[in-house]
Structure 1
Amino acid sequence: MNIAEFLNTNAEKFPLKSAIGFKKKEKWTEISWTSFRRLVFKTANALREAGISEHDKVAIYSDNSAEWIVFDLAILSLGAITVPIYSTNNEEQAEYILNESECKMILVGNQEQYDAAFSILNKHHILQKVIVAKKSIWIKKENSQYLEDFIKKAAEEFNIVAKEDTELATIIYTSGTTGVPKGVMLTHGNFHKSVEAHFEFFKFNNFENEKSLAFLPLTHVFERCWTLLVLFGGATAYFLENTKLIASALTEVKPTMMCSVPRFYQKIYAGVNEMVNNSSDAKKKIFKWAIATGNEVAELRRVNKPIPFSLKMKNTVAGIMVFNKIKQKMGGKLWFMPCGGASVSEEVTRFFEALGIHITVGYGLTETTATLTCFPFHHFKHGSAGIRFGETQLKIGENDEILAKGSGIMKGYYKKPEATAEVFTEDGWFKTGDAGRFDDSGNLFITDRIKDLMKTSNGKYIAPQPIENLLSNNNYINQAMIVAEGKSFVTALIIPNFEALKEQLDKMSIPFTNWEDIVKSEKIKEFYREKIEEIQKNLAGFEKVKKFVLMPSEFEMTSGEITPTLKVKRNVIMQKYADVINGMYNS
């Protein structure tokens, strides 16, 4: 079945209910399922009239927006293939994807993306037209058209093209922490079976009443799959175009569900703890009591046991005094938050469970249509990546590598048969590239990326992610990258939380000049040295960071230093900052 078929199902079931929400002229606006389907169908007809046929490739090069999801579903409805391009990709990166995938048309979201696409159009033998999402963008008329004008005269009736499970729906180019991007081929069956497996796994009640905020890039498999699930289930999906406005969007939209990456949860956890540390003894005592109460309730919920009336009352008081104030910063309605893209520490998931927000930790890859394992509502294990999901088969192979089979596994890498063969065993198991282990209850624990596992010159193995998580759980550290491979001791590149550090400068009577000077200040280095010593006091000696460098700016997506899910590209960082890293070992 074509994954876009839910448009018909939900337009008939919930004709007047809101399907999607977006910001228009500084105000959040919603459109009904009937209007949403009409918009998608008009776009599909316009694409067909413009020469797009079944199996053709069409690209989307844009930040999140209502136009993004409308265009995607129109492509899928037509039986064509969506090729998303990260909005942060430069012209060279976009050109590589467009050339290899042979896209005939592209939707762009901003001026920079339009300029890059138009430049590619003039030297590309297959790309024929650039469609522009917003009329605020200046365009050259040649082979360019605003989306509004593109669909204006198109018919509203459309028959969704039937699809077999094995037929291609999308090619997602992995940002990858190493190597050249590879186009992951996912089918209608991959998406459809993944969505159905989620509903079977969680057994949501009245899911159509939920509201989700799309905050991660729709280009990434995690947000794309989650948003399709939200829409498939008849809930309302809101689209945030500018991720810097996440704080205000949360209080305006008041979502009940939202997927995100560990850094989002870490920042909230670290910020609350720092605020408590700087408060009075009385407030510290109240917070400690509230968290202890919340943890007691959360543990009973986790093991699916009834909560005594007296404990419920205590938890209500804890909510009024502490929890509700924190939750209001996130809109006040969030209760279910899938988390993926990297590992998240047990301290963080326990904190959110105490607040009454279920962080559903999951594990998966683009190649597996996201979820392979995740936390159920009950009997999950903190610190794990959850249990096997749906019909997925998992086992541990050589070097503790996690191997997978199931309906979510990709068809392969587009035009890369050798790369495809490399990631499958002879008997068809997909090699994830991650090391892990199972406990007796079937909970999966990710020990690390096999490629990331580091061996010091003393023969000790270092798994960087747990140490990096430990560091970045602190409010004064935004990002951290561990260095240890072939070295005699562990070092780190530390990105400060500049906002928190600026407040600290006032307390330390250090005048602000610029961040290059500040991070070289001996007082600031000593401040971080003390923080890091405290953070890693329970680590083994060989795992501890012996030296570090404070970086004057964050790692950036645009320069290829981090992926869109905020994972550090180690090979890029190691090469770019080789002199800085060598300096820690030579001084």
Structure 2
Amino acid sequence: MTPPYPKYHLAEYPHQFRTRYPNKPLLRYYSRKSEKWVKLNGEQVADRCLAAAKGLAYLQTKVGDRIGIYSPNTVQGLCTELGIFMMRGVSVPLYATNTPDQVAFSVEDAGVETMFVGGQFQYNNAYEVQQRSQCLRRLIIIDPEVVLAEGDTTSMYYEEFIRRGDSVTYENKANVTSSQALATDLAVIIYTSGTSGQSKGVMLHHSNFIEQVYAHQLKYPFISPRDISMCFLPLNHIFEKAWTYLCLSMGCSIAILSDPKKILNALPMVRPTMMSNVPRFWEKVYIGVQDKIDQAPAPIRGIMRHAIRVGDRYFFDYVNEGKRPPLLLSFAYKVYDHTLFAKVKKTLGLQRGRFFPTAGAAISPEIYRFLRSINVPMIVGYGLSETTATVSSCPLVGFDLQSIGTIMPALSVRIDPETSEIQLKGPTVTTGYYNNPQANAEAFTADGYFRTGDAGRMQGDVLYFTERIKDLFKTANGKYIAPQMLEGLLTVDPIIEQVAIIGDGYKFVSALIYPNWEVVRREAKQRGVNAELSEAELAQSHEVHRLVTTHIEQALCGVAQYEKVKRFVLLTEPFSIEKGELTTTLKIRRKVVNEHYATEIAEMYKE
């Protein structure tokens, strides 16, 4: 099969924007001044990328220099990264929420001398790091409203950076260096936000991105320049980064959202046809729709539930199986699709949706089933930073609901017979961790396969995820527990916002639960509990505990008796990134949670 496009190096992208899509909108961003989404065509995007490369040439950037980008998603950040690639530099992208200590580790480990920072939060943290850093020499500030620290003589604003590079000499340097870029050049160092231990710098070369883009073009050839993708996951998250470069390679428009908290406001304005996402977004959509159904009058509630049953039967019994649906079922489905389902999707801004890949954590089959039943084309995949994102992903039709998809082209996957670990080899797999020989020795088998740390199984070329091997624990009774699976089942319930499963070495499973207090108040009021009580008082209420117990029992009705939650504590504060309890990709850091809630955990296991 011939690929849709040749295998372009990322340094070539700006030139391709100019020659293939000069007048087509490629990037969009929300302007706070005009309160509108502004479009940039291929010519304008190419100019911005070249301007960044020229600025880097002015700074005398050398091949292999590591350059930090510590910012929310911005057009400047994306164009700067492409400018870095044109100058054969190495991008070191950081989460906009990173603390000074996290920034300092990445800066020192990678040897970052120049860092682009977004707003005041990033500038303040980076400047603090610069004061004690041995290598960070300068900050370039993207937001012109940032106020410089007193005595800061080395930082410059982004516009000044662009102006200083505006000369023929620097333009020639940028163009010549870009033409010399090799597939073997190191492209990015992505620091993992691991659930335990110190971060590791994943090295990804241009060849990794080239092969991953090519593999997706083969697997999803229906992606076209007519598509609009919403970019709201952080661009230093490998999923969003690889997805964005895939979209740009195929001429799609990308709407860059700087504040991910405003996603529900942005979607109806942009109405994307595609969007990479994580399960938590879809969990909130599912919970919101179910809540609306539960609060609706009985007749409407009945119609909505009937519509979902019709959609489920239409898609999963027929379309997904490659069968032709009965005439009456097709008619009923089309009526609901053009009325009730269309209304739900329009409210969310997803009415033009064609393709919504989702990864980053396990998603409940119940939510997956619901979304496809109402004709939201979400598909599940699996990947890691170390594999340039996708390892496996589902087709739009003809997938196993329990799987994490079929293996990507050119990737070799095997399951370790003793541990069930998923192990990988192929052109999209990292060569190792930057400046970390010990981690490299542990990460690869003797014959060169990468150890994912995830357990799974394979059936043909279909991959199934079981659990993070490091997260598996054993109770005092010798029973293995998969906490992620239990947490996934529980957070589908609208009353549970966050949960951490406890039980390693104990006689039974327990849980720390941060509930949706609004739902708790509403349901507790129906049980005669005073809804004016504080959250701390509600957390101690016997009737509230009975209420939450009911929800837990319903959510875990399908698991073994030894896996069920026997006791729990209701929390009044959520787990957070700031307190170190969550990674920047919102995974639970179990060791930190166990330390922070040692008293509550001990209380649950008191005889």
Q: TM-score per shorter chain, which class?
A: over 0.9
Per-residue deviation, 1:309: 5.1
Match of 1:383 in 2: 402
Question: 156-165 or 341-350: which moved more?
Answer: 156-165
Counting only pairs closer than 5 Å after superposition, residues 37-186 of structure 1 correspond to structure 2 as 37-140=46-149, 141-155=152-166, 157=171, 158-159=174-175, 160-186=178-204
Quick one: which of 333, 341, 344 aligns to 1:323?
341
Structure 1 letter corresponding to 2:554: E
8 A contact 2:406–2:462 mirrored in 1: yes
Q: Give TM-score scaled by structure 1 length.
A: 0.96
**Is structure 2 residue 551 aligned with structure 1 residue 540?**
no
Q: Name the aligned partner's letter for residue 249 of structure 2.
A: F
Aligned mates of 1:481, 1:323 — CA distance in 2: 34
Residues 28, 464 of structure 1: alpha-carbon distance in 2 compared, 3 angstrom cutoff: same
Residue matched to 1:289: 306
Detail structure 1 runs of 4+ shifted over 4 Å in the superposition. 306-310, 502-509
Match of 2:579 among 551, 559, 573: 559
Is 1:212–1:237's contact at 8 Å kept on the other side of the alignment? yes
Paired residue secondary structure (1:209):
coil
- 1 CA distance for matches of 2:11 and 2:275? 21
8 Å contact kept, 2:58–2:164 = no
Map of 2:16 onto structure 1: 9
- Per-residue CA distance 1:183-234 (angstroms, 9 max, x = gap): 00000011111011011011215x1111111111111111111111111211
Moved more, 397-406 or 281-290: 281-290
Q: Return the offset for 1:308.
A: 5.3
Report which stretch shifted further, 496-505 or 472-481: 496-505
Q: 1:436 aligns with which of 453, 456, 459?
A: 456
Counterpart pick for 1:192 among 197, 210, 221 = 210
The Cα offsets for residues 442-484 of structure 1, whole Å up to 9 and x where unpaired, read as 3211110111111111111111122111100011111111112
CA distance in 2, matches of 1:59, 1:515: 42
Give the structure 2 partner of residue 446 of structure 1.
465
* Contact 1:2/1:162 (<8 A) preserved: no
**Which amino acid in 2 is paired with 1:29?**
V
Deviation of 1:499 after TM superposition, in Å, equals 4.2
- Deviation track 1:277-305 (CA, whole Å, cap 9, x = no partner) reads 23333223212221122123322332334
2:5 alignment counterpart: none
Bigger drift between 537-546 and 508-517 goes to 508-517
Q: Note the residue ranges of structure 2 that are not aligned, 5 or more in a row.
A: 1-7
User: Residue 73 of structure 2 contacts residue 258 of structure 2 at CA under 8 Å; is this kept in 1?
Assistant: yes
Deviations, residues 235-283 of structure 1 (Å, cap 9, x unaligned) = 0111111122111011111111111111111111122223222333322
Offset of 1:509 from its aligned partner? 5.5
Alpha-carbon distance in 2 for matches of 1:226, 1:500 = 35
2:246 matched residue in structure 1:
229
Tell me if the contact between 1:557 and 1:563 (Cα under 8 Å) persists in the aligned partners.
Answer: yes
- Tell me which moved more, 513-522 or 479-488: 513-522
What SS does the corresponding residue of 1:185 show, helix, strand or coil? strand
1:208 and 1:304 map into 2 onto residues whose CA distance is 28
Partner Cα distance (2:541, 2:262) in 1: 32
TM-score, scaled relative to structure 2: 0.93
- Identity among equivalent positions (%) equals 35
User: Which of 249, 260, 273 is the matching residue for 2:277?
Assistant: 260
Could you tell me how far apart the structure 2 residues matched to 1:431 and 1:557 are? Answer: 27
1:489 to 508, 525, 539: 508
Counterpart residue identity of residue 315, structure 1: Y
Match of 2:219 in 1: 201
Q: Deviations over 1:297-336 (max 9, x none)?
A: 3223323344555443322211244211221132122231
CA distance in 1, matches of 2:582, 2:407: 29
User: For 2:42, which of 30, 33, 36 is the aligned residue?
Assistant: 33
Q: Is the contact made by 2:581 and 2:592 (CA closer than 8 Å) also made in structure 1?
A: yes
User: Structure 1 CA distance, aligned partners of 2:268 and 2:200?
Assistant: 38
Corresponding residue for residue 312 of structure 1: 330
**Distance in 2 between the 1:348 and 1:295 partners?**
12
Summarize the Cα distance change of 1:29–1:500 in structure 2 as closer, same or farther, 3 Å threshold. Answer: farther
Q: What SS class does the counterpart of residue 329 from structure 1 fall into?
A: helix
- What's the counterpart of residue 22 of structure 1? 29
Question: Given the alignment, which residue of 286, 292, 310 partners 1:269?
Answer: 286
Query: How far apart are the structure 1 equivalents of 2:74 and 2:119?
Result: 11
Cα RMSD over matched residues?
A: 1.8
Give yes or no for contact 1:19–1:30 (8 Å, CA) kept in 2: yes
